[in-house]
Amino acid sequence: MSAEQSIREELAEVGRILEYEKLIDAFGHVSYRLDDGALLVTPHMPPGKARPEDFLRTDAQGNVLSGAGRPPGEMAIHTAVYRNRPDVRCAAHFHPPRCVLLSVLGQEIIPLTNMSALFHEGTPIYDHPELILNDRQGDALLQALGRCKAVLLRGHGVVVVAETPAQLAVRAVALERSAEFQYAAMLAGAPKRYSAEDLARTAADEPKHVQRCMRYYRAVLGGGGQ
Ligand SMILES: [Zn+2]
């Protein structure tokens, strides 16, 4: 299997995982930056239903090079990610309800659990409910994201970035689970926070965590990998 084909399989798998976890429905999209600078992106369709062959190949500006259909309406999110973050290989935009709720409350994710320690650099809030439809908005969103792994778009959704599709899927699930936990903890009282040392130590476990989660998803949903 070619490198691109294997990435296509993994991107389709990310969609299935996010759908299984009820993080996406009709909306949302994922993308990947290939070695030659071209992007693979979910076409304008429910992301959990996208097959490997459905992903569009576009240039860095989002112009379609091959594939049927059109790019997502908020393609500017993905082009902005790869323009501003050379360290990032893949990205997802979706609308998980607890994250949106926290964004409306002006609350970033507070790392209160092992899973949320991944986001110890912060999850800034992009303080506009608008859709991201052009480069100006995309760059403003990326300015909010900074060097972090995720940004909350107030009243709208999230953008999560990663180096691999598997890491992207696990971060996306961890982000919404963190928001669910945090919301419940905020209602119940004043949750105790991790120390900086605990956060650094726990966040360093991410590769093991990703491997374990992907083994689980492949057992439940089928698909390749170990
Ligand atoms: Zn959106």
Query: Which DSSP string do the residues of 130-156 spell out, in sequence order?
Result: S---SHHHHHHHHHHHTTSSEEEETTT
CB 55 within 8 A of CB 11: yes
Distance 78 CA to ligand 1 centre (A): 12
Distance 28 CA to ligand 1 centre (A): 7
Check residue 211 and give its pLDDT: 95
Distance 133 CA to ligand 1 centre (A): 10
Check residue 225 and give its pLDDT: 46
Check residue 224 and give its pLDDT: 55
Residue with tokens 């040392």, as numbered in its chain: 197
The Cβ of residue 65 has, within 10 Å, a number of other Cβ atoms equal to 10
Check residue 58 and give its pLDDT: 97
Amino acid letter, 90: C
Distance 95 CA to ligand 1 centre (A): 7
* Residue ranges of domains in the chain: 3-221
Distance 157 CA to ligand 1 centre (A): 6
Please state which CATH number belongs to domain 3-221.
3.40.225.10
Q: Could you list the mean pLDDT of each consecutive 10-residue stretch along the chain, which spans 226 residues? A: 93 96 93 97 92 96 95 96 97 97 96 92 94 95 97 97 97 97 94 90 92 94 65
Q: Read off the pTM.
A: 0.95
CA distance 47 to 69: 13
Distance 152 CA to ligand 1 centre (A): 11
| Beta carbons within 8 Å of 168's beta carbon, 6+ residues apart | 14, 30, 90, 91, 92, 160, 161, 162
Check residue 1 and give its pLDDT: 79
Distance 199 CA to ligand 1 centre (A): 30
CB 93 within 8 A of CB 126: no
Distance 81 CA to ligand 1 centre (A): 15
Distance 129 CA to ligand 1 centre (A): 9
Rg over CA atoms, the chain? 17
The string of DSSP codes covering 167-196 is HHHHHHHHHHHHHHHHHHHHHHS-PPPPPH
Distance 107 CA to ligand 1 centre (A): 19
